[in-house]
Structure 1
Amino acid sequence: MNNHVNNNLRNSASEVGLRRVLGFWDVFFASLGGQSPFLSDLTYASAVLAIAGLAGPVAIIIGSIIAFINGFVVARLSKRVTEAGGYYKYATKYLGGKSTGFFIGWNYLFYAIPYGAAYVVGASYLAQWILGIPWQINLPISLAVMTVLAYLGIRVSAKYAIFAGSLEMATLILISVVLLLIPHGILFNPFTYMGSISLSTFMVAVVYAIAIPTGYGTIAPLSGEVRRARETVSRAVETVIITGGALAALAVYSTAVAGLSYMNIHEFIRFLNEATGKGLSPVVIVLHHFLGVLLDPIVIFAMINDGILGALAYVLAASRTLYAMADDKQLPNALSLVNSRGNPVISVLISALALDIIALITTYLLGPFNAFLLLGFLSMLANLIVHLSANFALLRAATMKIKAVLYGVDTMRGLDKAVSVVAALITIFTATESMLGVKIAELIPYFVTLAIITAYLVIRALLVRGGLLGFRVHNYKIIK
């Protein structure tokens, strides 16, 4: 009797399914949170400014264009695949079926969860360095708020993202405008300074700049909960990249203008090199010069907010990937259970708790700065494989014949093929540049996970084909 009741409850829960409740602004701000704009300005944008000097805004513009090309791949695929799961679904449909999808899905999880953890740990490190708030206090608070928001469901999370993201955007724009209007500030043309550095040095700055308008990859797994997903997802992907790049370029340019108001160009370049050489953020130093203690509450809000939003965006994306894999019988059915609010709570809790544990343990063992670096390194190869799979999926999709033209999908095949190839080359170049100096030993956890996934796929294939002692697989049970 109890088993019968439990089965009915499970069936009724799973029949609820994901609901299409998200509009354009919901997914836009959820993705913008995955960029962590203020945190990116204090880290990646500072590095761009230090490397490229007054040509930094140009490096960010070029980096944003390159990121847009990769984002265009996701935008085009999102018109073809509107279910939850994102990259897992793309690989399943266009790159060899469920086994390939399973492999890519796990790579996405290995990318998303450590990457989201890196954001919240990075915010914790900056809050400790700038404000003196110990990570033992700010990190658990950020993780707890993120976990609660994820559990409450995507509509609550989206509302928080809209409120906090809008406030942060307005703050960044206001600060940038204030810096531009500072007396004695020198407005300059950044393009005229491109000849002052070598091309190779400039390209290193571009690599850092590409990392700024990321976050668009968190939209794709949410497609199953987006209204009019074919149009909305692609538009949100493209818009969030442009917005993130524009905010970063404005922040870097205004910082340079403000710096030149009380330093000459040679002093400013020396200041950039010395600050970054000591692990300090030039952006924060310039802001403190003009805003003083008024900057502290802004930084407190931005740091905690970015940590929460960045981690939340990747938890939501990871949980929807788990849900999609379970819904396709690639993982236990329990992961596809959805509550009455349309939230896959088990997948959400597993994703959130995994991120919480990884963030806390690595920070406890290594300290916040080294934990931030390690988590970023760990997600690097998985990120490469995930984005390459999307590039090849679009190339494959563009070569397939379909019977009818659907939402413009079949009208741009030539462009899709060209963009997929260019995006693949860009992804390989970016990953290669980013991995210079990374110790292979730091990536051992990724290789171990990859070996386990591969072994699982091989064993499962043998079992399904009856190649192992005459057994076969049925609903995760081996039957003779």
Structure 2
Amino acid sequence: MNTVGSSSGSGELKRRLGVSDAVVIGLGSMIGAGLFAAFGPAAGAAGSGLMVALALAAVVAYCNATSSARLAARYPESGGTYVYGRERLGDFWGYLAGWAFVVGKTASCAAMALTVGFYAWPGQAHAVAVAAVVALTVLNYTGVQKSALLTRAIVAVVLAVLAAMVTTCLISDAGDIARLDVGADMTVGGTLQAAGLLFFAFAGYARIATLGEEVRDPARTIPRAIPLALGITLVVYAAVAVGVLAVLGPDRLAQSAAPLAEAVRAAGVPGLVPVVRVGAAIGALGSLLALILGVSRTTFAMARDRHLPHALAVVHPRFQVPHRAELVVGAVVAVLAASVDVRGVIGFSSFGGLAYYAIANAAAWTLRQGEGRPPRLVPVIGLAGCTALAFALPVATVISGAGVLALGAAVYGLRKVMATGSGR
């Protein structure tokens, strides 16, 4: 039986989070990223098949969430699939999962920071993005419970804004449920590609697993928190998709840079547009907060195993957080947000996330009956679904994503050769 802190390293994190905290962190990561960033590109790929793509993404996400929850209960450590891959499949597969997560989600952090900037103050988007990263890094540094409290407030505000938006769209004379009908423009390839893009929206439940070392009673808490967060998010996404499609239709949705704001404007309530913009900025802020938490914990876990500089594997004696990992992640994200427009990384992040969860499903397949093994069909569907959706993404995304994974594998191999040559 694996125990927390069995990895070589410099410290362990303190268990402070309960079920409601874990659910809120998952919601904060999922509600915001997809709603305000992924629906437009997904509609462009799927056309009238957007709702089918959303359902397909949800099925794959459910399988991934189930596999992750069973593994997280078995291995309640920081790092998520990095740990599961290492323990069940071998060191290389854990490393590759961690590499895909850290690289992909660091870019996602910068994208979310810029989303905050463009909604809050378009003329100074980069400056606002950097300020948001600095503020959230400071907050995370002072303890995970403070992060959970802020996320709870953010989720409450965003859900209230979304409820107002959906209600406005559904009762508006501009709404037409016929716009939800599947038409001849729907294709298998386009639907799969849209599902892959929408997967970006569902990937936030990984934050719960990567915080496994900071959750109380993880064998009970994590298997409850992950499906709860995913189920609530699916209901919210479906309601928002129905409302926006009913007013805009798939073509107009695909062309909109801010579809939720445009939907309430088209519904005849322009006064609600500023409220939606504020809600979008707050939602993206919540996603950014949860992303920074997840990336820093995976960085911390990889540093404990010396796949990253071991100096990052230190826990703050007072705040009980991986403070060096948090500061490095925050600094890298701030530099990216200040200098590069990475709002177009949804596909790249989805590819990395799908590779990450493919490894999680493969690891879950190896669980034995007495280890909390999920039904056999769950990891099979999850692995097949992750693979299919990853390679259905745009060709440029697949090439860049595969290139990043290959680079990670090369770095791993080089380190092994150097370690062998030095006699370690």
Shorter-chain TM-score bucket reads 0.7 to 0.9
Select the residue among 182, 188, 204 that pairs with 1:194.
182
Q: Which has the larger radius of gyration?
A: 1
**What corresponds to 2:260 in structure 1?**
283
1:155 aligns with 2:145: yes
Question: Cα gap change, 1:320/1:51 in structure 2, threshold over 3 Å: closer, same or farther?
Answer: closer
Distance 1:39 1:394 in 2: 27
Alignment deviations for residues 247-280 of structure 1 (CA, whole Å, 9 cap, x no partner): 11111212233x2xxxxxxxx65xx425634x53
Distance 2:97 2:207 in 1: 15
Letter in 2 for 1:115: S
**What corresponds to 1:207 in structure 2?**
196
Report deviation, 1:53: 5.4
Return 5+ residue gaps in structure 1 as ranges.
Answer: 1-12, 260-267, 463-467, 474-480
SS at match of 2:203: coil
**What corresponds to 1:18 in structure 2?**
13
**What corresponds to 2:343 in structure 1?**
372
1:88 aligns with 2:82: yes
**What corresponds to 2:230 in structure 1?**
241
Letter in 2 for 1:221: T
Alignment deviations for residues 409-437 of structure 1 (CA, whole Å, 9 cap, x no partner): 15x5xx1x322122111111111111424
Question: Cα gap change, 1:84/1:184 in structure 2, threshold over 3 Å: closer, same or farther?
Answer: closer
SS at match of 2:211: helix
Select the residue among 34, 43, 56 that pairs with 1:40.
34
Question: Cα gap change, 1:112/1:56 in structure 2, threshold over 3 Å: closer, same or farther?
Answer: closer
Distance 2:219 2:37 in 1: 34
TM-score normalised per structure 2:
0.86
Alignment deviations for residues 369-407 of structure 1 (CA, whole Å, 9 cap, x no partner): xx222x445545543432221111111224xx7xxx46x
Distance 1:274 1:176 in 2: 17
* Native 8 Å contact 1:39 1:302 kept in 2: no
Number of equivalent positions? 413
SS at match of 1:341: coil
* Native 8 Å contact 2:347 2:393 kept in 1: no
Percent identity over the alignment is 20
* Native 8 Å contact 2:56 2:195 kept in 1: yes
* Native 8 Å contact 1:378 1:445 kept in 2: no
* Native 8 Å contact 1:213 1:240 kept in 2: no
SS at match of 2:201: coil
SS at match of 2:321: coil
Distance 1:276 1:89 in 2: 38
Select the residue among 369, 373, 379 that pairs with 1:420.
379
SS at match of 2:79: coil
Alignment deviations for residues 349-379 of structure 1 (CA, whole Å, 9 cap, x no partner): 1122122222323x2xxxx3xx222x44554
* Native 8 Å contact 2:85 2:363 kept in 1: yes
Alignment deviations for residues 81-133 of structure 1 (CA, whole Å, 9 cap, x no partner): 1122211210121012x4543343333222221222222234434x27xx643
SS at match of 1:82: coil
**What corresponds to 1:476 in structure 2?**
none
Report deviation, 1:215: 0.6
Select the residue among 455, 458, 471 that pairs with 2:417.
458
Question: Cα gap change, 1:472/1:242 in structure 2, threshold over 3 Å: closer, same or farther?
Answer: same
Report deviation, 1:195: 5.2
Question: Cα gap change, 1:186/1:23 in structure 2, threshold over 3 Å: closer, same or farther?
Answer: same
* Native 8 Å contact 1:124 1:307 kept in 2: no
Question: Cα gap change, 1:312/1:39 in structure 2, threshold over 3 Å: closer, same or farther?
Answer: closer
1:139 aligns with 2:129: yes
Distance 2:254 2:173 in 1: 26
Report deviation, 1:225: 0.6
Distance 2:315 2:210 in 1: 17
* Native 8 Å contact 2:33 2:287 kept in 1: no
Question: Cα gap change, 1:32/1:133 in structure 2, threshold over 3 Å: closer, same or farther?
Answer: farther
SS at match of 1:337: coil
1:323 aligns with 2:300: yes
Select the residue among 121, 135, 150 that pairs with 2:114.
121
Report deviation, 1:72: 1.5
* Native 8 Å contact 1:142 1:307 kept in 2: no
**What corresponds to 1:391 in structure 2?**
361
The answer to which of 133-142 and 243-252 deviates more is 133-142
**What corresponds to 2:26 in structure 1?**
31
Alignment deviations for residues 153-179 of structure 1 (CA, whole Å, 9 cap, x no partner): 211111100111121112212221232
Alignment deviations for residues 321-355 of structure 1 (CA, whole Å, 9 cap, x no partner): 23223444555255233321211211111122122
Letter in 1 for 2:418: I
Return 5+ residue gaps in structure 2 as ranges.
Answer: 1-8
SS at match of 2:395: coil
Report deviation, 1:149: 1.7
Q: CA RMSD in A?
A: 3.0
1:298 aligns with 2:269: no
Distance 2:96 2:37 in 1: 32
**What corresponds to 1:5 in structure 2?**
none
Alignment of 1:98-109 (within 5 A): 98-109=91-102
* Native 8 Å contact 2:117 2:128 kept in 1: yes
* Native 8 Å contact 2:112 2:288 kept in 1: yes
Distance 1:103 1:213 in 2: 21
Distance 2:322 2:328 in 1: 10
